[in-house]
Structure 1
Amino acid sequence: MTQDPYFFGYGSLVNRRTHDYARARPARAQGWRRLWRHIAGRDTAILTAIPAPGTQIEGLIAAVPGADWAALDLREAFYDRLPATDAVRHDLAPGPQVAIYSIPATKHPAAPAPAAILLSYLDVVVQGYRDEFGEAGVARFFDTTDGWDAPILNDRAAPLYPRAQSLTAAETALVDHHLTRLGAHPA
């Protein structure tokens, strides 16, 4: 029997409420960092992972049953699916093939100005990191992500992100605390 391949999620895929990939587990991608990418024709920034020697990011790996990538590739349509087996550290033995989704700078034209980061999207990501890695993991998420100088669109009252989740008051306060710490302010 062939082992299913896995993906490494580092944004909304860390929040298990946003997907049905049951066999998810914590992992780290060495030599990667997150970045808010701004693409021409989009009103909102997209979180991507970029190669960054000497850096690592936490996330989840999850099996893609039967190597049926169609639904995940559709969800991640702006990205390239890249091999990352050698970079991802996890507790599985034997280790599966692992892919990471990334948007190379050359894949789409750059936006003329920074696009907004959706607060409803960021809330989902932070909720996932808090569930998986605790508040220290949330701090590491913010510290290993670049691009916090982009505008933050406060769409909490009417979420624009299609997989938005309800947050507790403590989760909302945690997001707001780290945005303030980094000098980012929702509008």
Structure 2
Amino acid sequence: MNHPRFFGYGSLVNFDTHSYPEPKAAKLQGWRRIWRHTNIRDFAFLSVEPHEGTVLLGATALVPNADFEALDEREFAYARRPVAHQVTPEHDEVVVYEVEEGYFAEPSTAHPVLLSYLDVVVQGYHRLFGDDGVKHFFDTTMGWESLPVLDDRDAPLYPRACLLTDKETALVDAYLKERGQPQG
């Protein structure tokens, strides 16, 4: 019997942020990553949306005992979408979490990206896929335009913040600079 898995494309790619069993690299076809602004949080966070032709690198892991309750709690405001036929390596049941439309808010500079959150995501991509994985993350994430980044590294607001190596910090900073992302 195959146990259900989830596809992670943000903080769930960083295995230091969870203890879900058997995490491994994977690809998701037909979806793209996007920064979402919502009416329930003061900060932008990552989601996905269907997008033909896009392939996302990410990770899958087992949902313990096929019980989605704890994962659903972690991914509050997200809806589970079945994507088994779009994920490689293949599994009988795989889901991805997408921010529910009812929570969408208009993009605004009032909803910055937390640098501590971005650091966690980039660290996960770097550890799993190397420098190319970090480039892939930045290249396949939509919604960067005029999106400020709040530098909270010294006092992280993200609850699962991780300490980065000097190289990981330099990668994040270089990609933000390349995109002209304002930090403050």
- Give the aligned partner of residue 49 of structure 2: 50
1:107 alignment partner, SS class: helix
- Give the aligned partner of residue 160 of structure 1: 157
Deviation string for 1:11-41 (max 9, x for gaps)? Answer: 0000000000130111000011100000124
Dislocated runs of 4+, deviation >4 Å = none
1:41·1:111 contact (CA, 8 Å) conserved in 2? no
For the pair 1:141 / 2:140, whether they are aligned, the reply is no
How far residue 113 of structure 1 moved from its aligned partner, in angstroms, is: 2.3
2:21·2:64 contact (CA, 8 Å) conserved in 1? no
- Give the aligned partner of residue 173 of structure 1: 170
Distance 1:166 1:108, change over 3 A: same
Gaps of 5+ in 1: none
Normalising by the residue count of structure 2, what TM-score does the alignment of the two structures yield? Answer: 0.95
For the pair 1:34 / 2:33, whether they are aligned, the reply is yes
- Give the aligned partner of residue 63 of structure 2: 64
- Give the aligned partner of residue 126 of structure 2: 130
For the pair 1:113 / 2:104, whether they are aligned, the reply is no
Counterpart Cα distance in 1 of 2:107 and 2:133? 33
2:103 alignment partner, SS class: coil
Distance 1:25 1:41, change over 3 A: closer
Q: Which stretch shifts more, 170-179 or 36-45?
A: 36-45
Deviation string for 1:122-157 (max 9, x for gaps)? Answer: 000000000000001100100000111211000000
1:166 alignment partner, SS class: coil
Counterpart Cα distance in 2 of 1:66 and 1:15? 22
2:26·2:57 contact (CA, 8 Å) conserved in 1? yes
Normalising by the residue count of structure 1, what TM-score does the alignment of the two structures yield? Answer: 0.93
1:35·1:146 contact (CA, 8 Å) conserved in 2? yes
2:20 alignment partner, SS class: coil
Distance 1:3 1:173, change over 3 A: same
2:36·2:104 contact (CA, 8 Å) conserved in 1? no
Identity of aligned residues (%): 51
2:21·2:63 contact (CA, 8 Å) conserved in 1? no
Counterpart Cα distance in 1 of 2:65 and 2:77? 23
The amino acid of 1:119's aligned partner reads L
1:86 alignment partner, SS class: helix
Equivalent pairs counted in the alignment come to 182
- Give the aligned partner of residue 179 of structure 2: 182
